[in-house]
């Protein structure tokens, strides 16, 4: 293959499925100097990724008139892996937009710790996997392969991209395997015309609520698409003590639904952010960066709630090229310098994200948001009536892993099938 300016493709595959009973694992405390360095590096990387997450969600949801599921973590991981093969202005744009640590070594150590920590979680099924598919005619630099293998846990496979049918099938088979056959046909044969490299990140999640919803309590209830349009949807309900609070800057409330876990170090939950106004989603989205999920999780303001929450299932495919350009990563597509990957001139042709989520009575997460929480304290001798909370309007959700302070998935629901 005669390379002049070749392209590579970034593919992000996300699968979230909530069901089933899963084991938990014990953890050991390690206060060795190297472990403390890893903790600091992980904190630095997760802080940057959370800043990227807020901007990424805002851009992906901008002017979107449909339900959304995306993974800021997955996008951040595969783009960060790519950034470590960039140089010059391409690298600077990517590092700035991704909020990567200034110290390259700290960043690499942080990503290594992040992948190792998330892939060791056992109270829920959570796995992140990277793979680099390289044209058999492209010479990739050893340093890039070493960095991606050690810090991003990425494997490498050589493919003959001239046979686009066979190559796309091999990539899609890997994606299906890593997502338990939930995500299929991510790459089309035409995507691989003139391709030199495909970088893939897959995320799979499967969890069970700490307190499941009783299916016999699920019923039809009104959901407000806007102030003038409603229809009935399947609404789950339960009475439970949940982390709850007000988010004044978003004019919204949050509630956090935990997944089953016997160990705080494996704590994973879903935050639901529900606007106070039926048409209030846009204001919440515009202020999403003001949410500190760690602060909300750590406050642990437990409230007796009678919760009504809809079941939902979403599948989406997004071309992230326009989103990333708006975030400041422009050169990677047009005037790219990926000389740390190969001496062959390369540019990014596509960034594809395909995602799936299902939330039902067995598995779901509780939503969280940043804000001052005002709780009314009552006498211990009185059992107050529970707060009634109905998620009956467009809302935001986020799946959060507390030990790494990572926003695994984020999205919103605008409407649901009747």
Is the residue at 42 inside a domain? yes
Average pLDDT, the chain: 83
Look at residue 52 and tell me if it is in a domain. Answer: yes
The verdict on residue 277 lying in a domain is yes
Residues 98 and 155 in one domain: yes
> pTM for this structure?
0.86
CATH code at position 33: 3.30.497.10
Q: Measuring CA to CA, how many Å separate 84 from each of 131, 147, 157, 328?
A: 15, 8, 19, 17
Q: Does any domain span residue 330? A: yes
Distance (Å, whole) CA 333 – CA 377 = 55
221 falls within a domain: yes
Average pLDDT over residues 4-8: 50
Q: Do 61 and 108 fall within a single domain?
A: yes
Q: Are 273 and 368 in contact (CB under 8 A)?
A: yes
For residues 19 and 83, state if they share a domain.
yes
Is the same domain home to 17 and 166?
A: yes
Residue 381 is part of which domain span?
215-310+364-413
Query: CB within 8 A of 328, min separation 6: which ones?
Result: 93, 96, 97
Question: Which of left, alpha, beta for 93 (phi over 0: left; psi -120 to 50: alpha)?
Answer: alpha
The Cβ-side half-sphere exposure at 155, using a 13 Å CA radius, reads 7
pLDDT tens-digit map of 349-373: 888 888 888 888 885 332 221 111 1
Number of domains in the chain: 2
Domain annotation covers residue 418: no
Which pLDDT belongs to residue 87? 96
| 136, 267: one domain | no
Residues 53 and 154 placed together within one structural domain of the fold: yes
Query: CA 225 → CA 182, 253, 282, distances in Å?
Result: 28, 18, 13
**pLDDT, tens digit, 9 for 90 and up, residues 269-317:** 999 999 999 999 999 999 999 999 999 999 888 999 999 999 998 888 8
Q: Do the domain assignments include residue 135?
A: yes
Nearest by Cα to 355 from 315, 326, 382: 315
pLDDT tens-place string over residues 34-61:
777 888 999 999 999 999 999 999 999 8
Task: Kindly state whether residues 170 and 284 are assigned to the same domain.
Answer: no
The pLDDT tens digits for 110-150 are 999 998 888 888 777 777 788 888 888 888 899 999 999 99
Let me know whether 119 and 179 are in one domain. Answer: yes
The reply to whether 154 and 298 lie within a common domain is no
67, 319 in Cβ contact below 8 A? Answer: no
Q: 408: domain CATH number?
A: 2.30.39.10
Residues 92 and 232 in one domain: no
Same domain, 65 and 136: yes
**72 and 99 within one domain:** yes
Give me the pLDDT at residue 33, please: 44
């Amino acid at each position: 293959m005669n390379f002049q300016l070749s392209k590579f493709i970034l593919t992000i595959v996300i699968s979230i499925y909530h069901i089933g009973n899963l084991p938990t694992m014990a953890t050991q405390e390690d206060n060795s100097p190297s472990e403390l360095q890893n903790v600091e590096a992980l904190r630095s990387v997760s802080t940057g990724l959370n800043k990227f997450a807020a901007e990424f969600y805002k851009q992906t949801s901008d002017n979107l008139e449909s339900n959304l599921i995306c993974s800021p973590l997955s996008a951040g991981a595969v783009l960060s892996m790519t950034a470590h093969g960039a140089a010059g202005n391409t690298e600077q744009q990517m590092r700035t937009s991704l909020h990567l640590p200034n110290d390259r070594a700290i960043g690499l150590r942080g990503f290594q710790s992040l992948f190792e920590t998330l892939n060791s979680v056992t109270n829920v099924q959570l796995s992140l996997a990277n793979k680099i598919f390289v044209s058999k005619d492209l010479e990739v630099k050893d340093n890039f392969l070493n960095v991606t293998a050690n810090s991003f846990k990425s494997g490498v496979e050589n493919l003959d991209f001239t046979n686009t049918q066979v190559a796309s099938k091999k990539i899609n088979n890997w994606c299906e395997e890593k997502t338990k056959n939930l995500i299929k046909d991510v790459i089309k044969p035409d995507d691989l015309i003139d391709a030199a490299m495909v970088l893939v990140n897959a995320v799979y999640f499967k969890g069970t609520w700490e307190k499941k919803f009783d299916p016999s309590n699920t019923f039809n209830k009104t959901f407000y698409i806007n102030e003038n349009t409603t229809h009935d949807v399947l609404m789950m309900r339960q009475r439970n003590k949940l982390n709850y609070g007000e988010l004044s800057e978003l004019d919204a409330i949050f509630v956090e639904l935990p997944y089953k876990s016997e160990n705080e170090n494996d704590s994973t939950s879903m935050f639901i952010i529900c606007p106070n106004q039926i048409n209030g989603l846009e204001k919440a989205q515009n202020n999403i960066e003001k949410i500190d999920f760690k602060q909300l999780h750590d406050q642990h303001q437990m409230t007796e709630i009678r919760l009504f929450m809809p079941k939902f299932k979403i599948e989406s495919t997004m071309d992230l090229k326009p989103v990333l350009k708006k975030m400041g990563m422009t050169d990677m597509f047009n005037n790219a310098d990926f000389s740390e990957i190969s001496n062959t001139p390369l540019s990014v042709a596509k960034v594809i994200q395909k995602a799936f989520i299902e939330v039902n009575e067995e598995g779901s997460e509780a939503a969280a948001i940043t804000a001052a929480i005002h709780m009314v304290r009552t006498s211990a001798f009185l059992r107050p009536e529970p707060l009634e909370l109905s998620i009956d309007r467009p809302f935001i959700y986020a799946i959060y892993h507390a030990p790494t302070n990572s926003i695994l998935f984020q999205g919103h629901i605008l409407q649901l099938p009747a």
